[in-house]
Amino acid sequence: MSKRAERLGRFLEDDLGWYVFEVSYRCKKCGHRSSFSDNYCAHCGGKMVADREEPKEIVDQLEEAIAYALGEVITCKHS
């Protein structure tokens, strides 16, 4: 998970009481995904690991929505 997403998740969780990023699990061997915390993959028997990656667009949209709600403006650092 990116540092940006971690900060946003902590803000939502700690300050607002929202839990946003759902943990999913991915097999290290075959890549199968599951929402259950089984230790081993049902398809190939490989080891399942936590995979908390989130799409960048969702993080962008959440940041913009929160900034709007708080009356702040997020500016691009690359401009």
Sequence spans of domains, the chain? 3-70
Instruction: Return the structure tokens found at 45.
Output: 């028997």
CB-CB neighbours of 23 under 10 Å: 10
Instruction: Return the structure tokens found at 40.
Output: 């081993």
Condensed to tens digits (0 to 9), the pLDDT of residues 23-50 reads 678 888 998 888 776 788 888 999 988 8
Instruction: Return the structure tokens found at 18.
Output: 């929202």
- Cβ atoms of residues 33 and 25 within 8 Å: yes
Condensed to tens digits (0 to 9), the pLDDT of residues 46-76 reads 998 887 655 666 677 777 877 777 775 555 5
Q: Output the DSSP codes for 8-25.
A: HHHIIIIIT-------EE
- Give the global pTM: 0.39
